[in-house]
Structure 1
Amino acid sequence: MDEFDYVIVGGGVAGCVVVNRLTEDPNVKVALLEFGTAGNNKRQIVRMPLGMVTFMMPNLAFLGGTKMMYLFEAEPSRGLGNTRMILPRGKALGGSSMVNGMIYIRGQKQDYDDWRDLGNPGWGYDDLLPYFKKSENFVLAENPDATRNFTLGGKPVRDQIDMRYHGRGGPVSVSPPRSPNSMCQTYFDAAVQAGYKLNADFNGEDQEGIGYHWLTQKDGERWGAESSYAGPAKSRPNLKIITEARALGIVMEGKRAVGVSYDVYGETKQIRARREVVLATGAFISPQLLMLSGIGSPRELKAQGIEVRHELVGVGRNLQDHIDTWTKQRALTNKTYGISWGTMHTNAMHVLKWFSSRRGMFTSNTGEAGGFVKSGPDVDRPDLQLFFCTTMASAQASDSFWGHGWAMHACLLRPKSIGHVGLKSASAYDAPLIAPNFFDNPYDMEILVRGMKIMRKIADQKAFDGHRGEEVAPGRHVQSDDDIAAYVRQNCMTMYHPTSTCKMGTDPMAVVSPATLLVHGLENLAIVDASVMPAVISGNTFAPTVAVAEKAADLIKARAKAGSPSLAA
């Protein structure tokens, strides 16, 4: 039986970070188990940012993107009229960073200070900022002239960045859109006309405003966790990566985690951990693996005939995710991305630009612009995230890319509806039960109705007059709050940011210790992924997950150096 100092379960974003940092010490042996495959960062469909639009389209499965996806199905949500929603996650080394929109957002300072004030000392904004900077290679810090001609509000973007908030030389390459669509400028002009300010850096002093998204790209290519963290570690002799390995459960000796049981190519094996087992399988799978191992709510475990090894009632509870809705507008011009007879030549030229210089449309995530706004005067900080997408098509809905137009999205940043993750069976081969409970709290719908009105307000400004065609969705006949709410229930999606199902804290529902990220009451078992966040942050979750994992790696190293037992504080 193989034995290592650390066994990391899950090669997603957090797992890649921890593996990289722990193997920096050549005297430490680390094994990584990942259910997906490795090496996807070398594939054109992944390297090409626009390739992401194919990953959830069944008719484009031959391109290979769908092989990198879990497509979990949620339980019916009463707030969605008892319909089910598909919940995609990345299934590959690099996790969801291999299939996401590459938007780099840290969240708001108050998000982390709220974590701290919920009973998690050491997790405030000032505590995590050094880890954001440590992990980042900000293009302007590396090369101040890289965005010489890149402007916002008529001023160079580089002159609007406070470099105190950014890092240089870290693994994560953070860059502006390489060839932004010209309609982004129209969107900015309209936003200003609607009364919103511009913001060149959502990760600086203040998140509020409208501007370009900064992206996890390098030289026009996707730069996910496989490229940034796992890749540099692969050649280290003290790391063993086992792919296409399905974790079945944690091997326990009493209250101590000593290894992991897993299936690889139909054969069940065990791998031992001398120091710690680290779960990094995300907000859906980490609680499932705990429960399959007899760790969780006795009621949940007994319902599936699982022996209770350790009672922790908070396992799987507190699920939080962002919910999003949209408008779609047909364009009178063909400046937005789409397929039409008049743009065949232009699109062919974009293909050549991609292969020759990594520029043009294929470097786009289609959501290059957006921002953060307050839904109303009764709100003290932004509670809506806006996206301006330079195409009407939606990969999630498998829409056609024929024709020209744009979509605007509004995402609820701090939902009050709370869900949970449970078990459908006692088998790791079955997906977990996922109940997001979207719109269970009416507050969430109220804010998204406000978001719909804000999107329309921006679209109605003079800047769009020469471009604005028919509002395809929801259609101008949808005006009352009740009608808008009915539309939203039928036209919404998760933004793929599930968190908080194994939250850190010291209250009765907490699963891991904030001082160590070790599971309460157990030895040698840590959790390092978005499931430990006490609450979802105000923005995309890639950057926060990296920061959590960077800090976690330091905590693990400190325990080893001090010879401290791997017990939750």
Structure 2
Amino acid sequence: MSRINLLLVLLALSYASYGTYLGRDELVQRQIDPGALKSAYDYIVVGGGQSGLVIANRLSEDPTKTVLVVEYGTFDNNPGQVEPSSAKNYPPMDLFNVTSVPQRALGNRTTTVYAAAVIGGGSTINGMFFERGSAEDYDNWEKLGNAGWGFSGLLPYFKKSTTFNTPIDPAVVADANITCDASVYGTDGPIQATYPPWVWPGTKIQFKAFNEVGVLTQFEAAGGKSYNAYWVPSNVDPSGRRSYARNEYFDPAQSRPNLSLLVNYRVNEVLFSSTKHAHSVRIQARGTANGAPTITVSANTEIVLCAGWLHTPHILQRSGVGPKALLTAAGIPVISDLPGVGSNLQDHAPIFIQFAYTTDVFPNPSSLQTNATFAAWAEQQWTQLREGPLSLTTGNSVGAIPLTTMNPTGYQAIISKALAQTPATYLPKAYTAEQLAGFIEQRKLLTASYGSSTNGIFEVPFEGSASAALCLEKPMSRGTVTLNTTDRYAEPSIDFNTNINPVDVDLTISAARFYRTWMAAPSMQQLGPTELSPGTNVTTDAQLSTWVSSGMGSSTAHSCCTAAMMPQNLGGVVSPDLLVHGVTGLSVGDISVIPLIPATHTCATVYAIAEKAADLIKARAAHAGF
């Protein structure tokens, strides 16, 4: 069979399966009416997002165990949402309508909040950039008291969740020198990953320029070497469509009679016995007012919170698990005084640095808008062959630059500044002594990463364009998610505290200066780079600091860490087995358990966390005789 015929067959099969995916009875057969709810299930998974669907799939593999998933959102059945173009599209219907409080270090601007409200969660609307952090990122989790959560402990779950497919166009691989090691990926996992069959010519020049300024190219990053410059696969299937939690974990399992999904319902609270055992959830139809009828459903074995970085801590707080002072102010009886619930919020704060190429190579990313002939060719390549520029998601290459490379003469001064700080000065006022101790342990690890040549501090995604987002990967600042004490069911207050610690500004200035160095590399000169923003007249640290304050955002949709996996005496919320401190029968299996944000897009990491969580839950039940 010719290569073109093979592609057409794959395309036809994809469309045939997608028709079922969109509109047939199979789609809704596991969406239950609230009137059909059982009084009890073995497991209740709170949240049908990315992690919730993984855990529900794995728990329901045992036909003797009943699993209920309760999700606030519903399905996004727009065919375009699985196309590569959706990588830069965040449909409002799939998001919670929330914004941050004014950010004091960003000129009191409110900033965008990304929290998914859709089946599949963030995997439904993300950029399909499928990378992992470096080994040091996960080893730092283990150093915070979490045995088994280092890179070696997580690698089997990275692999379990993934199938790596050989790139479909060997000519592109050879021309761009895309290197990869399939052995660090899985061979039969649900999530499909591969390299898109297109590379902008300018990307190859950018790789060479990185090499000229001390950023080497990794042969393969996913095996624990996600630093310097490297190629990144996309989580797409062989036909180039989004491979995500909904179509790879939920759809194949939806016909299981022991798996039920209830959409458009909010979990108000987890209910506890007098011995602090989580036994039920109280749920309410989405959009109904406070005081509307609720339904209580019991869990025979365990309740698993997978409501994400925003609503996992919110549900805990509403349930009486959280900071005592906050709960008392809201009139909520305290079940477990855990000050860390809703604290430790971290994200990758971005700022856009703008250059232009005066002698750019052709074609380049802007050619899709400026050259009608090329745009028509690109459309033909995609519709007929599933190839060409429209096969790209958010790109396929990235620099994760160590601070020692960005600022070789000044990185030690930044480390010294961080270690000399009185930590409480820049932390939320409500931090307790335990939380302060936990942050000090985190700071030791962060500053070690700042001095490491094998850990990225800033991300520079690149795909041939002159401009890029500089993303702070390892912030020193910490934010909060706090319930509204006068209306506990209203959306919580979100304060990223972006750049509240001046060390983060120093890091961002280092990144901006390094970007200029990269643009000045010999290979770049054939493209004629000229600086637009912050501008060549912005040279001093004070001027760059003003630019940072006026232009930085708070989030790249990687928010995490608000129910951190750390010891309770360090302000942690869950133990290494993911059980919530101070209660029984309740665990957390989502992105909120991360203690320190890794220097990577978080999608692949969440799959690994959820796969490991499922194994922990199963083992716990087996040990207890369930």
TM-score (norm 1): 0.88
Partners of 1:548 and 1:244 lie apart in 2 by 25
Aligned to 2:583: 522
Instruction: Call closer, same or farther: CA 1:352–1:34 in 2, change over 3 Å.
Output: farther
Kindly indicate whether the alpha-carbon contact (under 8 Å) linking 1:292 and 1:427 is maintained by their aligned counterparts in 2: no
CA distance change for structure 1 residues 195 and 495 in 2, over 3 Å: closer, same or farther?
A: same
Q: CA RMSD in A?
A: 2.3
Structure 1 residues 261 and 336, CA, compared in 2 at 3 Å: closer, same or farther? farther
Of residues 385, 407, 410, the one that matches 2:467 is 407
**After alignment, is 72-81 or 435-444 more displaced?**
72-81
Supply the distance in 2 between the matched residues of 1:544 and 1:246 (Cα, whole angstroms).
26
CA contact (8 A) 1:326 1:452 kept: no
Of the three residues 153, 171, 176, the one matched with 1:149 is 171
After TM superposition, the structure 1 = structure 2 runs for residues 108-119 of structure 1, keeping only pairs within 5 Å, are: 108-119=134-145
User: What is the match of residue 86 of structure 2?
Assistant: 51
In structure 2, the partner of 1:203 is 222
The residue that corresponds to 2:377 in the other structure is 349
- Which of 533, 558, 561 matches 2:619? 558
Shift of 1:426: 5.3
Counterpart contact for 1:330–1:472, Cα < 8 Å: yes
Where do residues 241-252 of structure 1 align in structure 2 (5 Å cutoff)? Answer: 241-252=261-272
Q: Residue 247 of structure 2 aligns with which residue?
A: 227
Partner residue, 1:337: 365
Matches within 5 A, 1:66-85: 66-85=92-111
Matches within 5 A, 1:11-30: 11-30=48-67
1:81-480 equivalences in 2 (<5 Å): 81-140=107-166, 146=168, 148-151=170-173, 156-157=177-178, 160-219=179-238, 220-254=240-274, 255-264=276-285, 266=288, 268-332=294-358, 333=360, 335-338=363-366, 342-376=370-404, 377=408, 378=411, 379-380=451-452, 381-390=454-463, 406-425=466-485, 427=487, 429-468=489-528, 470-480=530-540
Structure 2 portions without partners, runs of 5+ = 1-36, 412-450
What amino acid sits opposite 2:456 in the alignment? D
Aligned to 1:36: 73
Q: Partner amino acid for 2:71?
A: E
In structure 1, the residue matched to 2:418 is none
Whether the 8 Å CA contact 2:567–2:575 is kept in 1: the answer is yes
**How far did residue 289 of structure 1 move?**
0.4
Offset at residue 506 of structure 1 (A): 2.1
Is contact 2:227-2:456 (8 Å) kept?
no
More strand by share: 1
* 1:76–1:82 contact (8 Å) kept in structure 2: yes
- My pick for the range that moved more, 517-526 or 176-185, is 176-185
- 3-state SS of paired residue (1:371): strand
2:85 is matched by which residue type in structure 1? L
Greater alpha carbon shift after TM alignment, 358-367 vs 287-296: 358-367
SS at match of 1:226: helix
| Cα displacement (A) at 1:299 | 0.5
From the superposition, tell whether residues 79 and 36 of structure 1 become closer, same or farther in structure 2 (CA, over 3 Å).
same
For residue 43 of structure 1, report the CA deviation from its aligned partner.
Answer: 2.7
The residue matched to 2:109 in structure 1 has which SS? coil
Alpha-carbon contact 2:46-2:69 (below 8 Å) kept: yes
Alignment partner of 1:440: what SS?
A: coil
Query: Larger % of helix: which?
Result: 2
Q: List per-residue Cα deviations over 1:382-403 (Å, max 9, x = no partner).
A: 3334334458xxxxxxxxxxxx
Letter in 2 for 1:24: E
3-state secondary structure, aligned to 2:170: coil
| Aligned-residue offset at 1:5 | 0.8
Deviation at 1:70, TM superposition (A): 2.3
Q: Deviations over 1:540-566 (max 9, x none)?
A: 11111111111110111112222258x
* Amino acid in the other structure paired with 1:189: K
| Equivalent in the alignment of 2:31 | none
Q: Deviations over 1:426-464 (max 9, x none)?
A: 546421111111112111111111111121222223333
Structure 2 Cα separation of the partners of residues 341 and 526 of structure 1: 49
After TM superposition, give the deviation of residue 369 of structure 1 in Å: 1.9
Amino acid at match of 1:386: E
- Whole-Å Cα distance in 1 between the matches of residues 154 and 575 of structure 2? 17
Residue 211 to residue 120, structure 1, CA distance change in 2 (3 Å): closer
Amino acid at match of 2:460: F
Cα distance in 1 for partners of 2:120, 2:528 equals 39
Deviates further, 555-564 or 9-18 = 555-564
Correspondence 1:487 to 2:547: yes
Task: Answer yes or no: is the 8 Å Cα contact 1:384–1:410 preserved in 2.
Answer: no
Q: Does the 8 A contact of 1:316 with 1:421 survive in 2?
A: yes
Query: 1:242 and 1:268, CA in 2 relative to 1: closer, same or farther beyond 3 A?
Result: same
Q: CA deviation at 1:347?
A: 2.1
Bigger Cα displacement from structure 2, 522-531 vs 266-275: 266-275
Tell me, yes or no, if the aligned pair for 2:193 and 2:233 is still in contact at 8 Å. Answer: yes
Which secondary structure does the structure 2 equivalent of 1:73 belong to?
A: coil
> SS of the counterpart of 1:198?
coil
Tell me the secondary structure at the aligned position of residue 222 of structure 1.
coil
Q: Which residue of 2 aligns with 1:532?
A: 593
The question of whether the paired residues in 2 share the 8 Å contact of 1:294 and 1:307 is answered with yes
One-letter amino acid of the counterpart of residue 378, structure 2: H
Pick one of 45, 59, 71 that aligns with 1:8. Answer: 45
Is the contact between residue 9 and residue 247 of structure 1 (CA under 8 Å) also seen in structure 2?
yes
Name the residue aligned to 1:61.
none
Letter of the 2:246 partner, please give it. E
- Which shows bigger deviation, 408-417 or 70-79? 70-79
Measured after TM superposition, the shift of residue 295 of structure 1 is: 1.3
| Counterpart AA for 1:188 | F
Q: Distance in 1 between matches of 2:57 and 2:152?
A: 24
**Total equivalences in the alignment:** 533
